[in-house]
Chains A and B, each alone.
Chain A
Amino acid sequence: MTRIPGQPKPQSYLQTSPKTAPAATPATSRTAPPKTPFAAQAKKPQTSDWRIGDLMVCVMARLLADGERVFHGVASHLPMIAMALARKLHAPNLVCLNIPGGVNPPSVHKASFSSAGADLLSGAEAYFPLDQIFDLSMRGGLDVAFLSGAQFDMHGNVNNSVIGSYRNPKVRLPGGAGSAVLIPTARKVILWRTRHDRRTFVEKVDFVTTRGNVWKVVTPLCVFGVKDGRLQLESVHPTSSLREVEENTGFPLKYGDVVYTPPPTPQELAALRQVDPHDYRMKEFKN
């Protein structure tokens, strides 16, 4: 895909696999030797046999460590699949929690239109429903929560309440669901969003639904971490470029070592096809 410099680019990440590399490369190592294993990649990885939804799920799965207690809520197909994938691959003792209360659901094959249905309780190890998950987080016992929103700013503020003023909104959004208590209390919060543009990553959110322990932000273009209370670019997906991230982010980018996000491995892709054979992971990209 060729691109005119300076001109906002159509969002390329919905395409199956770009045939041509984007113009700019993100290998902007400002500091000395690479410290992370991510930084070891010198060359742009292969991008042909997977889609951005596959990569986002794999990235989210890799962020989960064995034994952690992890929660996803409503409208959360990507985290739901990422949690199941992590349990299948590197985190067999992960504790997967969800709204209907199914601890470690044996499969997510039936969660087609909802990530809060009875199918996630059917065949699960135990019943641990939403009110108890909240209580767990309040007393410091929830390791990771996956949450989303309509707007994010560089300070990690999250808005899923309104666009415009609260009393007289231009757009009434669904509401933050559990995020206003989970983002301040879960030990690590992973935010995700299937769009990355200047309406989503803004200078200042219209409304602070919540802020707190944001740890990572996974988007179709990149992964942000948080350093000194600010979002910091950590890796750029091989399908994107530093310039594309910059052009689509409404606040100044801060970064140290920026590397390419490692693409999904053949093992990850094979496991992903088993965990999610009906491709629910692409549902969130429709809207």
Chain B
Amino acid sequence: MATSAFASRPKSRSKLVPLEEAAAMVRDGDLLALGGNVLHRAPMAFVRELIRQGKRRLGVVKTAGAHDIDLMCAAGCVETVNAGFVSYETEFGLARHYRKAVESGEVRVNEHACYTVISALRAAASGAPFMPVAGFRNTDLIRENGDFRVIPDPFGGEPVTVVRAIVPDWAVIHVQEADETGNAVIHGPKYEDVLMSRAARKVIVTAERIVGAGHWQRQPTLVDIPGFLVEAVVHAPRGAAPGSCDRMYDADLVALAKFMKLERSDIPAYVAQYERADRSARKAVIRI
């Protein structure tokens, strides 16, 4: 598929690494922006690997989380959650482990409106220390979350709420397609993932499929995350399961229903049961 004009290019460095290696790059205490939304296209294989590696004191940033944040709280990986919403929505309701971890004081929540997460990431992406958020008023969250301040408008208008920039150490984004150098394409809803990839210091992409170099050279506008922003690429088929991944698979409601019955002590066995599948693609990279 690469034409002769492209073939003369020197080959770019491959960033393709096994899941274990990518997860090992995350250090205890790091702040992670997780891609996807509620039960859709969250980087679940990566989350399970973080748990298997026993990470601790992680921070999480997301507008609306579900199984990812719940599972990490169950495993004791999390210190802080910055999110607007954490729940499994209507079918399975409250995120039980998250709820218990917060109620016991083990996990601290900086509750945001989903939009203030976006604004905080926009501040980070544009290198600004904070971002004004029009319309964020009449809320006790300003008092309780230290990331918010109400300041005078320097141009003489009404006072305005600002949110401090949130600069994630890592954005971890699960996509349908990526190449070895990190160029990545998200099919279907992109949620906040593109913004996260710009706001974070470093980006890890996990992908359902690894495509050949030059795959998008005829339509580079299709690429959501350019490879130069990406630190590592992982081939992770079914990497969003038991959640959904558009055009690949729907959520596994049977698996999720089983998870809803698990206690904290069951979590090591739960993530172990995915270990083989999560790590299976390490040597089986498909080149198109």
Q: Are B64 and A116 in contact (CB under 8 A)?
A: yes
Min Cβ gap B247→A in Å is 8
Known: A118-B40, A184-B138. A175 touches B86 (CB 8 A): yes
* Chain B residues closer than 8 Å to A176, beta-carbon distance: 84-85, 111, 113, 139, 141
A116, B138: Cβ atoms under 8 Å? Answer: no
CA distance A155 to B107 in the complex (A): 32
Q: How far is the CA of A117 from the CA of B94 in the complex (A)?
A: 18
- Judged by DSSP, the binding face of B is mixed
Question: Do B111 and A171 touch (CB < 8 A)?
Answer: no
Instruction: Kindly list chain A residues whose C-beta atoms are within 8 Å of the C-beta of B135.
Output: 137-138, 181-182, 184-185
B115 touches A181 (CB 8 A): yes
Interface residue ranges of B66-108 to A (CB < 8 Å): 83-87, 89-95, 98-99, 102-103, 105
User: Does B183 belong to the interface (CB within 8 Å)?
Assistant: no
In this assembly, does A99 line the interface, its C-beta being within 8 Å of a C-beta of chain B?
Answer: yes
The stretch of A35-43, A55-63, A161-169, A225-233 that contacts the partner chain: A161-169
Do residues B189 and A100 form an inter-chain contact, with CB atoms below 8 A?
yes
Q: How far apart sit A169 and B104, CA to CA, in the bound complex (Å)?
A: 9
Chain A's closest residue to B190 (CB) is A129
B interface size (C-beta, 8 A): 52
The answer to whether the Cβ of B114 comes within 8 Å of any Cβ in the partner chain is yes
Kindly state whether residue A174 has any CB partner on chain B within 8 Å: yes
Contact B63 A130 (CB under 8 A): yes
9-residue interface stretch from A12-20, A22-30, A203-211: A203-211
Q: Which of A102, A174, A177, A178 has the most CB of B within 10 A?
A: A174
In Å, the complex CA distance between A117 and B253 comes to 14
B-contacting residues, A71-90, CB 8 Å: 74-75, 77
Nearest A-chain residue to B105, judged by Cβ: A168
Interfacial chain B residues near A138, Cβ < 8 Å:
115, 133-135
Q: Does B140 contact A (CB under 8 A)?
A: yes
Instruction: Report A's interface with B, CB cutoff 8 A.
Output: 74-75, 77, 99-102, 112-118, 121-122, 129-131, 134, 137-139, 161, 166-185, 207-212, 283-284, 286-287
